[in-house]
Amino acid sequence: MKISKIETQKKNKKRSTIYLDGKFAFGLSNELLIKFDLHEGDELDNDLVQDVLMAKEKQQIRNRAYRLLHYRNRAIKELKDRLLRIGFDPALVEEVIDEMVGENTLDDENFAETFIADYTKIRTKGNIFIRHELTRKGVAGEVVEKLLRKRDEKRIAADYMIKKLSHLDISNPKDRQKVLRRLLMRGFTPAVVYEVIDDHEK
């Protein structure tokens, strides 16, 4: 096969259209055009064409991954599952994910730290909620437990109770039950909830 024409795309100057033997073959980013050193008149065999097309899809996967990460940070498994649902080739998704992990673009511990900070300072939740959500997103259990050990869940629960539930009178049995339910519903550990309420009653 011979590259009969390389034409810069009108709507996107960073991409070119490749024609093989006088017929449209595929579009390609100029970055890959340079990487594979493609020029009009070059003869291409099937293996090279497949390499180019594979590199093209990997670039598409990476670009979509960055768009998803721009929207919000994601755990490794979460991003991988999202890319697979879009319909990209599983083997190429695996390659791209591995590369992004190697570059430290993806890091489950950093993701989990940010997640925990968010659910501590902005949308206060307890350890049970955080453990469940991070596990669901594919973060390793040892990473989750390591980070939760650094978290003073009792202090966080007490601060939340003072800021959000101070209008309730814990000495009143009905109000005490309301505080108890609210804290448990936010995923705080039951032992911590009872301890915080007991301390507040003293």
Same domain, 100 and 125: no
Asked whether the predicted pLDDT for residue 49 surpasses 80, the reply is: yes
Report pLDDT for 202: 59
* Cα 32 to chain centroid, rounded: 26
For the domain that residue 73 is a member of, what is the CATH number?
Answer: 1.10.10
Residue 13 lies in a domain: yes
Same domain, 126 and 167: no
pLDDT digits (tens, 9 = 90+) for 192-202: 999 999 888 75
Residue 49 lies in a domain: no
Alpha carbon distances (Å) from 79 to 65, 94, 128, 134, 160:
7, 11, 23, 13, 32
Range of the domain at 126: 107-151
Residue 52 lies in a domain: no
pLDDT digits (tens, 9 = 90+) for 59-103: 999 999 999 999 999 999 999 999 999 999 999 999 999 999 999
